Structure 1
Amino acid sequence: MGVCNDVVTEGHVGHRKGSQALDTDTPVSAASSEAYFRAATAILAMRPGSSEPDLSAALLKRHYGLTGPIATLSSEIERTVEVNLSDGRRLILKMSTRPEAVGSFRFQAAAMAGLQGAAGFVAPEVLRTSNGSLMFEQEGVCGYLQTRLEGIPLHQATPTPDLLFRTGSALARLDLALDLVSVPAAHRPVLWHVGCWSRLMELEQYLPSGTVADSVRVAMDNYVEFVEPQISNVAWQITHNDPSPFNMMVTGQEMGFIDFGDGCWSPRIQDLAIAASHVVKDPTIALGGAEYLIAGYASVIPLSALEARLLVGLMRARQSALILINYWRSHLFPADAQYIKKNVARAEHGLSILAPLGVDEGEAAVLAAMSSFHP
């Protein structure tokens, strides 16, 4: 989630200017500032939104004229509920009483609305309010209503090479579509933004001592020394920024993508690095099985030479960021630790597989993946 207004106003642009590009040559500068990091950290240090009063039934009736049984869903920040209408439709209502939620909801609703009609993947549809708006803001409460995608989350599916290839190619098509979408609040503070990663070792004290902490330290040192100085030279655009196995769906149509709450202006390859980092499982393969997802993505958007060289470092840094942030938040909110840490074991295992790879070995593995696998 982000703040109501774009407190970070500096623009971002890489070597390829997309629809959201602004006039600057330092795309990571604003998001790597101390002010951005502190604002983003403060947002995730707030108590989860489930403690807010449940206004969902009243809001649904007031702003959409709808009624139906409501069930609360797991969510780390805002309150999220499922609504079952009498006509069989299943909807998701997201709402919050926090001022900083406005920017995040504006981004999410606009992004999903802009993706409608795009080919090669599916995303939820945003339902407009009774007055035709993408979201509602009234009396200190804001939110939006969307359709619920029917399918199986990727983490519950068997990760066959073919499925991972299809996932990667669908993710690339999502990025192509997002590059054409105009959204507000794209530069709001998001702790998961790559610009924050060089400061995340402040959270090291919350890690358990041992090999995990050691691997995180090495990966983040590599990111700061090798990846971060070059990250402004790859393509930047609006990205999903959290294509985890919980946010990618195997549907009866194309692959589906949900939860755009961490979306922002960032390196395009970031979406690939995040998705690939989550499917590193097999220690007998150089990239742990992420080869297939990488190949699928590259079949739609070929990687530049620099992107291929930086990808493994970005994957390791993302795994480390996930570990750092979620151990810290679990310390803050122990009652919610199980949900907060749902991806941590996967990240720790994946990081252990990628840890031995140097820059040259990682680049070679990515290039081999791009050229060797086709379903």
Structure 2
Amino acid sequence: MSDHDDLVADQQRGRHNSSAAASSRHLPWAASSTEAYFRAAAAILSTPPDGLQPDMSATLLKRYYGLEGSIAVLSSEVERTAEVSLSDGRQLILKTSARREAIDSFRFQSAALAALQDSAGFAAPTVIRTSGGALMFEEEGISGYLQTRVEGVSLHKVTPAPDLLFRTGSALGRLDLALAQINAPAAHRPILWHIGCWSRLMELEEHLPSGSVAESVRTAMAEYMRFVEPQIQNLEWQVTHNDPSPFNTIVTGQGLGFIDFGDGCWSPRIQDLAIAASHVVADPTLPLGGAEHLIAGYAAIVPLSALEARLLVILMRARQSALILVNYWRSHLFPADAQYIKKNVARAERGLTILAPLSAASGEAAVLAAVSQP
């Protein structure tokens, strides 16, 4: 039986799921895969970053939290992120925006972080409530929330030793187990990084450089359309981080931590693993480029279903391609910020090249071999 026949058979078996399971998975997928959702999500990332006045962060910090400190603005794609240093040595992160769509994003982020506060096995920021006890604030078109800063070193600055990658995967698995218990508000808001948008991302291919990268992207996205889309409703869906990249993964003294939940949403659980694994494909001597270790760590906490193991490499390549497409497009829109926007592109291009030789069957075999290691 061919790879495609296997997948079709799985799809047919999946139709026997209960109506309750269908309701929880199929309806969100239908909403996120519409043209209207894609256009709304693309509009958000085609708008210039928020331009609040530099002193506004200090005003909001004092007004809603009664705090004062030195403020440094950090790089960010949509919202305004500022690092706050208090006189007592504490460092906090204040996220603010004057954009309407940020309200739903902040509602999601602050609620998800509040729900994760007592979870074990990973670190995450803690939301600091306003003086009135709210998770976030809104006033005259400006919204935001305050959180603690996770102390440590970003994973992209650390040598990715096998043990560290295994522990990263395990921590991500524990994060997903915790997120599965959350019913966060605004989890279905438009996000271009949502898997429901991927079938339309090839509209952006005109911004790709000609050559092997563009060809690899076309191949990967066609493979996604052929193998994953017919099966995506049969995956386990839940609230996910949706961007556990090395920039958002922190190596701390107490283990691994995760920050920046701004792309978090309701999506297939396996997406978090596919995204994290796609970023660590770097060693051409290994079938999965070194992602084997992260995948094994995740599967030790959240065992993969047969369908998840079968689709994982295809999802990894599609995510690498989505990252390449979106960031070349945004670099065209905002050339002055191209260096920041494309910070992950070279890694994605290299990873896509390493994974390109794998067929659907050999990719599945490599994943199964990774998770079976002691």
Which residue does 2:142 correspond to in 1?
A: 141
Which residue does 1:239 correspond to in 2?
A: 240
**Displacement of 1:29:** 1.4
| CA offset digits 1:33-89 (Å, max 9, x no partner) | 00000000000000012x332310000000000001111111111111010001110
| CA offset digits 1:339-364 (Å, max 9, x no partner) | 00000000000000001111000000
The one-letter code matched in structure 2 to 1:284 is: T
| CA offset digits 1:125-179 (Å, max 9, x no partner) | 0000010000000111100000001000000011000000000000000000001
Range with bigger deviation, 24-33 or 259-268: 24-33
| CA offset digits 1:209-258 (Å, max 9, x no partner) | 00000000000000011111101101000000000000000001120000
Structure 1 residues 24, 85: closer, same or farther in 2, change over 3 A? closer
Which residue does 1:6 correspond to in 2?
A: none
Which residue does 1:10 correspond to in 2?
A: none
CA contact (8 A) 2:122 2:171 kept: yes
CA contact (8 A) 1:154 1:248 kept: yes
Q: Does 1:85 align with 2:79?
A: no
Structure 1 residues 16, 285: closer, same or farther in 2, change over 3 A? farther
CA contact (8 A) 1:63 1:136 kept: yes
The one-letter code matched in structure 1 to 2:266 is: W
CA contact (8 A) 2:93 2:147 kept: yes
Q: Does 1:69 align with 2:70?
A: yes
Which residue does 2:115 correspond to in 1?
A: 114
Which residue does 2:164 correspond to in 1?
A: 163
How far apart in 2 are the matches of 1:266 and 1:275?
A: 15
**Displacement of 1:16:** 9.3
Q: Does 1:212 align with 2:208?
A: no
- CA RMSD for the aligned pairs? 1.6
- State, as a whole percentage, how many aligned pairs show the same letter: 72
Which residue does 1:310 correspond to in 2?
A: 311
| CA offset digits 1:72-122 (Å, max 9, x no partner) | 111111111010001110000000001110000000000000001101001
Structure 1: any 5+ residue segments left out of the alignment?
A: 1-13
Which residue does 1:52 correspond to in 2?
A: 52
How far apart in 1 are the matches of 2:300 and 2:211?
A: 39
The one-letter code matched in structure 2 to 1:222 is: E
CA contact (8 A) 2:114 2:126 kept: yes
Which residue does 1:7 correspond to in 2?
A: none
Classify the secondary structure of the residue corresponding to 1:280.
coil
How far apart in 1 are the matches of 2:19 and 2:152?
A: 35
Structure 1 residues 112, 21: closer, same or farther in 2, change over 3 A? farther
Structure 1 residues 326, 362: closer, same or farther in 2, change over 3 A? same
CA contact (8 A) 2:245 2:279 kept: yes
The one-letter code matched in structure 2 to 1:115 is: L
CA contact (8 A) 2:25 2:236 kept: no
How far apart in 1 are the matches of 2:324 and 2:66?
A: 42
Classify the secondary structure of the residue corresponding to 2:327.
helix
Classify the secondary structure of the residue corresponding to 1:71.
strand
CA contact (8 A) 1:17 1:236 kept: no
Q: Does 1:25 align with 2:37?
A: no
CA contact (8 A) 1:16 1:236 kept: no
How far apart in 1 are the matches of 2:75 and 2:180?
A: 30
Structure 1 residues 16, 128: closer, same or farther in 2, change over 3 A? farther
Which residue does 2:10 correspond to in 1?
A: none
Q: Does 1:226 align with 2:230?
A: no
How far apart in 1 are the matches of 2:26 and 2:202?
A: 26
**Displacement of 1:21:** 8.9
Which residue does 1:3 correspond to in 2?
A: none
CA contact (8 A) 1:250 1:256 kept: yes
The one-letter code matched in structure 2 to 1:281 is: A
**Displacement of 1:26:** 4.6
What TM-score comes out, normalization by structure 2 length? 0.93
How far apart in 1 are the matches of 2:253 and 2:73?
A: 25
How far apart in 1 are the matches of 2:360 and 2:148?
A: 42
Which residue does 1:197 correspond to in 2?
A: 198
The one-letter code matched in structure 2 to 1:301 is: V
Classify the secondary structure of the residue corresponding to 1:94.
strand
Which residue does 1:98 correspond to in 2?
A: 99
Structure 1 residues 330, 182: closer, same or farther in 2, change over 3 A? same
How far apart in 1 are the matches of 2:279 and 2:295?
A: 12
CA contact (8 A) 1:207 1:327 kept: yes
How far apart in 2 are the matches of 1:17 and 1:127?
A: 39
What TM-score comes out, normalization by structure 1 length? 0.93
CA contact (8 A) 1:281 1:288 kept: yes
Which residue does 1:152 correspond to in 2?
A: 153
Classify the secondary structure of the residue corresponding to 1:88.
coil
How far apart in 2 are the matches of 1:178 and 1:15?
A: 23
How far apart in 2 are the matches of 1:249 and 1:56?
A: 25
Residue-pair matches, total: 358
How far apart in 2 are the matches of 1:170 and 1:114?
A: 17
Classify the secondary structure of the residue corresponding to 2:238.
strand
